[in-house]
Amino acid sequence: MSDKLLKRLLGLALVALLSSCRLAFFASDLNPVAVQVPYMKNSSNECYFLDDFMPTPDAMTTGRNGNLSLRYYSYKMANYKEYIKSRINLSFYSNDSRCWSLFEEFYTAE
């Protein structure tokens, strides 16, 4: 098999692979499935070990403010409390980065 023919076949295979990935990506966006986020109280008396039970967020931001650790979880589609299939952002703080307290919930309509 000549080098030109081999390169052409590999190029066609790569285009076919990328095309199928693109179609699968867009198809999954048409029917998004909402993540079930556990019910949590907005109270400083609550202690949540987030790494043990929180579903994987679409985006997570971490940071610090003084001696507090902060985490912001964002879900594009979530079932949480009385909100069904809505965008939700949950904000937590911690003194020891193990036990977290919920301090803000944001719901965004699109």
Q: How far apart are CA 62 and CA 46, in angstroms?
A: 20
Which of the four pLDDT bands, split at 50, 70 and 90, describes residue 23?
very low
- Mark whether 18 and 55 lie in a shared domain: no
Q: Tens digit of pLDDT for each residue in 33-81?
A: 899 999 998 888 889 999 999 999 999 999 999 999 999 999 999 999 9
- What pLDDT does residue 25 have? 47
Which of the four pLDDT bands, split at 50, 70 and 90, describes residue 12?
low
- Helix ranges (DSSP H) in 39-99: 50-53
- Mark whether 84 and 40 lie in a shared domain: yes
∠ Cα 78 79 82 (to 5°):
135
Q: What is the 3-state secondary structure (H, E, C) of 42-83?
A: CCCCCCECHHHHCCCCCEEEEEEECCEEEEEEEEEEEEECCE
- Mark whether 26 and 43 lie in a shared domain: no
- Mark whether 87 and 51 lie in a shared domain: yes
To the nearest whole number, what is the mean pLDDT of the chain? 81
